[in-house]
Amino acid sequence: MVSMAGQLRERLGQDGIIVAPGAYDMMSLLLANQHQFSAHYASGYWVTASILGLPDVGIATYRDFITQFARLAQASSAPLIADADTGFGSLVNLDHATRGYQDANIAAMQIEDQCFPKVCGQHGATEICSIEEMQQRVKVSCTARDGGDMLIIARTDARRSEGRNAALNRLGAYADAGADIVFLEAPKDACEIEEAAQHLKKPLMINAAHGGHGTILNPSQYASLGVKIIIYPSGPALAAAKASDNFYGMLAADDANSNCDGMFDFPRMSSLLGFDDAVMLEQSFNQKDN
């Protein structure tokens, strides 16, 4: 059987773009499973928000990440791409994290070139490490796979602080260090994305973060620019938050029924969670006993 990482590698070698929506908790993942995407994406920002209710500023630890990401990877019907921030500390920490991600059947691990501790690249000002330090991170991650097939994604947050050319030079250096996929964060426009895809030798990954920096395009539009992987990490969480906020507001105004037509179907959710299978299992054994 081909591993999830193997499936993602095969998909990278085929025509077309890989669309990876965000999955920030188990219910969002189960819903994403229903739509047969080529991959799913686990964001550090949204997992930190969903399990800790805290900002993405390096507070969440490796243990916080891997505990949730391992659950997501186990339940995902598609290869899971997972955020690993800057590697959770030293190169020794990164080596340990890489092995843990691979053992959890995560298909691709994403590391970035911010200094530790990091801050969300779509929100605050970022401090970037040297090219050489990030190359070391990439090399450590590639070595720590120890013959495994998990892919290593190298992300640069240098576009906003150092400019377009510096960001592209960094990604070229990270590709030379062994990264399987390169990730340009916060490009200014479509022209920059297309230039990056043409300039870089490795598959290009772009972040379509609703509410963040840059214009949100459709997957087909990113594909026409040469992007190989497009992630939509914030759309599902923001949509769910908006729906929940609307309900809480109505309930606070003594209205529990106005928006029922806009709610997700409860029997369908129960089915996704496995209630139907549990009932069938109970019934099958009860019949045998009788």
Q: What is the pLDDT of residues 214-265, one digit of tens each?
A: 889 999 999 999 999 999 999 999 999 999 999 999 999 999 998 888 899 9
Judged against a pLDDT cut of 70, whether residue 131 lies above it is answered with yes
Predicted confidence at residue 282, as pLDDT, reads 86
Q: For residue 5, name the pLDDT band (cuts at 50, 70, 90).
A: very high
CA distance 128 to 133: 10
Predicted confidence at residue 121, as pLDDT, reads 67
Contact 196, 184 (CB under 8 A): yes
What residue type is assigned to position 272 of the chain? L
Contacts of 167 (CB under 8 A, 6+ apart): 156, 158, 159, 184
- Percent of the chain residues past pLDDT 90, beyond the cut: 86
Predicted confidence at residue 124, as pLDDT, reads 62
- Minimum mean pLDDT range among 151-160, 187-196, 273-282: 273-282
Contact 174, 154 (CB under 8 A): yes
Predicted confidence at residue 118, as pLDDT, reads 79
Judged against a pLDDT cut of 80, whether residue 122 lies above it is answered with no
Q: Characterize 182-209 residue by residue with b for buried, 16 or more Cβ atoms within 10 angstroms of its Cβ, and e for exposed.
A: bbbbbbeeeebbbbbbeebebbbbbbbb
- Percent of the chain residues past pLDDT 70, beyond the cut: 97
Contacts of 159 (CB under 8 A, 6+ apart): 167, 184, 185, 186, 187, 188, 192
What residue type is assigned to position 112 of the chain? E
- Minimum mean pLDDT range among 82-91, 205-214, 219-228: 205-214
> If you count them, how many residues does the chain have?
290
126 vs 11, which has greater pLDDT? 11
Neighbouring C-alpha atoms within 13 Å toward the C-beta of 146: 9
Predicted confidence at residue 287, as pLDDT, reads 74
The pLDDT tens digits for 134-173 are 999 999 999 999 999 999 999 999 998 899 999 999 999 9
CA distance 31 to 18: 18
Average pLDDT over residues 75-89: 97
CA distance 111 to 137: 8
Whole-Å CA distances, 37 to 26, 113, 285: 16, 28, 35
Question: Pick from 79, 69, 71, 63: which is nearest to 46 by CA?
Answer: 69
Average pLDDT over residues 77-89: 97
What's the chain's average pLDDT?
Answer: 94
Contact 73, 80 (CB under 8 A): yes
108-112: strand order across its sheet: 18-21, 229-232, 204-207, 181-184, 151-156, 108-112, 80-83, 40-42
The CA-based angle 262-267-270, given to 5 degrees, is 110
